[in-house]
Amino acid sequence: MSTIETQLIESIHSHELSSVSKVILANPTSLNERELLLAKSAQAVSARILERCQLEGAAIVNCLVSAGIPCEFHAQDLILHPPQFEKFTVTLECEDPTQAVNIASDNGYWLHIPTSEPEWTDFRRNNSQIVMTRIDDVTTRMVLKWSVHRSFFSRVIRRLARELQRLVPNSRKGYTEPFLGTPASLLPGLLEFASVSSSDVLLDVGCGDGRVLIEAARVYGCRCIGYELEESLCDLARASAVENGVEHLVEINNDEIQSAPHDNVSVVFLFLPVKLMSKFINAFREQLKPGARIVAHEQLPIESDVPADCMAPLFSETSITVAHLWMVP
């Protein structure tokens, strides 16, 4: 891995890719052809992500304002801190976000908590923001904030509840982490990075809507197995497999990964919260047969008991990530 690639990876980790790539391109004659292409790709995709966040944020705010909901789109924050993925913030000037959530849902954004009563009322009274996601090629994230006025007693209760959530993660009944799918434009590069072939059996942990499995089955003709806890995402994955004509190669399980057999798995794909990925990487290195590969990608550093055998910055037309590869000895 070259010095420039290392600089780009470190800048992705520190969320400074836009500024660092500008510095690298300020002296193009010192770069080889590959390094120049990487730096130009980094700069171009950074600009496209910023533009898309500005457009998406403005569009949803226009919908909210048209419905009589006063709100603010933090466009200046995007310019001061250029995003590395599609995420923007909208602040409501009200205490009840229900109408705004409904409008966002009508525009394709997905709410990841129960909307039935009394769970929804309890949530909005005890929280001041939520992340809604739209399942598209890049998985756009919107942080929706609202005002919450609390008495001293309610603030104390809220602190105690947060401490309980920290000590007992499953105490947030019915709450699931937002689904963040691997951007579709990164899939070809990630599967090539993992050296996937027709003889492989690919396992995707937390497969979501099945996009990784379907791409691998469609392009390489390999057998693919996915595990996903969210039933609605499993339904999307199965429907997509049928639509793409690979249902005979793709198996979707609405179940915990602990119940999965690993005997024939030769490639494991991971895109999960960083702490979970670290746990799975260490476990799969012990469970899989020699020669199997574990590929994970993330903009944050991934810690594991053993450093990755290979890392690479990946840039597509719309997305940014760092690919990591572990070979099972």
Cα gap 163→154, rounded to integer Å: 14
Q: Which pLDDT value is given to residue 161?
A: 53
Please give the domain boundaries of the chain with CATH numbers for all domains. 3-48 (no CATH), 58-171 (3.30.460), 184-327 (3.40.50.150)
Sign of CA dihedral 119, 121, 126, 127: positive
Cα gap 275→263, rounded to integer Å: 25
Q: Across residues 167-178, what is the average pLDDT?
A: 48
Q: Which pLDDT value is given to residue 178?
A: 67
Q: Across residues 237-258, what is the average pLDDT?
A: 93
Query: Residue 63 pLDDT > 50, yes or no?
Result: yes
Cα gap 246→57, rounded to integer Å: 36
159 confidence band (pLDDT: 50, 70, 90): low
Cβ neighbourhood burial of 29 (10 Å; 0-12, 13-18, 19+): exposed
- % of the chain with per-residue pLDDT over 70: 90
* Mean pLDDT score across all residues of the chain: 89
pTM: 0.85
Q: Which pLDDT value is given to residue 152?
A: 52
Cα gap 2→35, rounded to integer Å: 8
Q: Which pLDDT value is given to residue 171?
A: 42
> Is 308:295 a contact under the CB 8 Å cutoff?
no
Higher pLDDT, 134 or 258: 134
Find the length of the chain: 329
Q: H-helix or E-strand containing 133?
A: strand 129-134
> Is 202:269 a contact under the CB 8 Å cutoff?
yes
Judged by DSSP in three states, 295 sits in: strand
Q: Across residues 182-203, what is the average pLDDT?
A: 96
Q: 206: which DSSP letter?
A: T
Least confident of 1-10, 101-110, 148-157, 201-210: 148-157
> Is 104:70 a contact under the CB 8 Å cutoff?
no
